[in-house]
Amino acid sequence: MGYFSAIACFRIAVATLVLIDFCCVFYELKIFASDQAILPLGLGLIQTEYHTLLSPLYTFMTDHNLSITVFMTAVSILYLLALVFCILGFHTRKSFFTALILQLLIFRSIPNFNYGYDSFITMSFFYCLLFPVGTEYALDSYRKGENRSRRKMPSRYFSLPFYLKTHLCIVYFVSGLSKVLDPNWWDGNAIWRAYDDLSPALYVPPFLLATLSLSVVSIELLYSFLVCTKFRKVYGSRYGSHPFGHRDIFGAVFLCSSCV
């Protein structure tokens, strides 16, 4: 698969995953962000770095009796529309810019319900904005009628796969480093804690937990080196699909990044 096709696949995969996930959030948006939300948005923003950015907006809305439910619903519908445009590759850069801003507005308004996945999505949108992901499998390519043979391969330092590879190397290395510094990862205790919602009927022998723990640490620390070898694809796909508790969608984003 060529460079432009590969980065177009990344665009479609990421935007589709986000669309699926956001449809779930939209279904129960009123619990997260509305006038009847489980936590008032202002309270949720305290103690976060987004307080100074977003709190004035919601204070203004509350002071002027403007409905947060209507605002959030409108923003969410725009976001869904932007995601569909991103998948189709219609005005790709503008669509990704809009999606990025709306994603920040929606999810940073509810920072207590965010996890690493949301930052990865922001990062993926930023890379899709930076790189020409709308040159293949996109309405833009038909609309502009660009000559494919004139496209130039970018330099090594400005290619999406190289950016993603470097980013994942840092992510896995730092994650492995933090694990190796904790003795709980040496004896399997940490992996037991992470999965302690397993049924009590399921007994996992300590040696198996220790082996699993050490394997995770080794895989993460060695990722940066092995990703440069011929095992990259298998390695990336296998490790990219590892479960983050109940957060399978997070694993799916890693899988997308690993496969490009």
Partner 1 sequence: MLAKAHYLIHFGVIFLVSLSAVLNSYLMHKKIKAGNLSALNHFIERSVVDNPVYHAYSIFTGTNNGYGFYGINVATYKYFSVELYDRDKKCIAKTHTFGFKKQNNLARFEVLASRIANYIADNEEFPKEGDKELLKARKLYVNEIFKHIGLYEKEVGIYKSLALSY
Interface with partner 1 (CB under 8 A), residue from 166, 215, 218, 237: 166
Contact call for residues 201 and 195 (beta carbons, < 8 A): no
User: Which C-beta is closer to partner 1: that of 137 or that of 173?
Assistant: 173
Contact call for residues 34 and 72 (beta carbons, < 8 A): yes
Interface with partner 1 (CB under 8 A), residue from 143, 144, 238, 247: 247
Which stretch in 60-68, 140-148, 189-197, 227-235 sits in contact with partner 1 by CB under 8 A? 189-197
**Whole-number Cα distances in Å, 42 to 36, 105, 224:** 13, 14, 41
Interface with partner 1 (CB under 8 A), residue from 152, 157, 202, 205: 157
In this structure, how many other beta carbons lie within 10 angstroms of the beta carbon of residue 182? 12
Which stretch in 4-12, 41-49, 55-63, 69-77 sits in contact with partner 1 by CB under 8 A? 41-49
Cα distance between residue 176 and residue 219, in whole Å: 8
Contact between 200 and partner 1 by CB under 8 A: the answer reads no
Contact between 35 and partner 1 by CB under 8 A: the answer reads no
User: Which C-beta is closer to partner 1: that of 49 or that of 230?
Assistant: 49
Shortest distance (Å) from residue 142 CB to partner 1? 28
Interface with partner 1 (CB under 8 A), residue from 6, 9, 16, 40: 40
**CB burial readout 14-47, b (16+ within 10 A) else e:** bbbbbbebbeebbeebeebbbbebeeebeebbee
**Whole-number Cα distances in Å, 12 to 109, 151, 189:** 26, 20, 39
Interface with partner 1 (CB under 8 A), residue from 149, 155, 199, 229: 155
Contact call for residues 136 and 5 (beta carbons, < 8 A): yes
Give me the helix-helix angle, 248-259 and 3-27, nearest 10°.
Answer: 170
Question: Binding to partner 1 (CB under 8 A): which residues in 44-103?
Answer: 46-47, 49-50, 53, 100
Interface with partner 1 (CB under 8 A), residue from 175, 222, 235, 240: 175
Shortest distance (Å) from residue 45 CB to partner 1? 12
The pair of structure tokens assigned to 112 is 């207590």
Question: Binding to partner 1 (CB under 8 A): which residues in 4-33?
Answer: 21, 24-25, 27-28, 31-32
The pair of structure tokens assigned to 58 is 């919601």
DSSP annotation string for 189-257: HHHHHHTTTS-TT----HHHHHHHHHHHHHHHHHHHHHTTSTTHHHHHHHHHT---TT-HHHHHHHHHH
Contact call for residues 105 and 76 (beta carbons, < 8 A): no
User: Which C-beta is closer to partner 1: that of 97 or that of 137?
Assistant: 97
Where do contacts with partner 1 occur on this chain (CB under 8 A)? 21, 24-25, 27-28, 31-32, 36, 38-40, 43, 46-47, 49-50, 53, 100, 104, 108, 112-116, 118-126, 154-155, 157-158, 162-163, 166-167, 170-171, 174-175, 177-179, 181-182, 184-185, 190, 193-194, 196-197, 244-247, 249
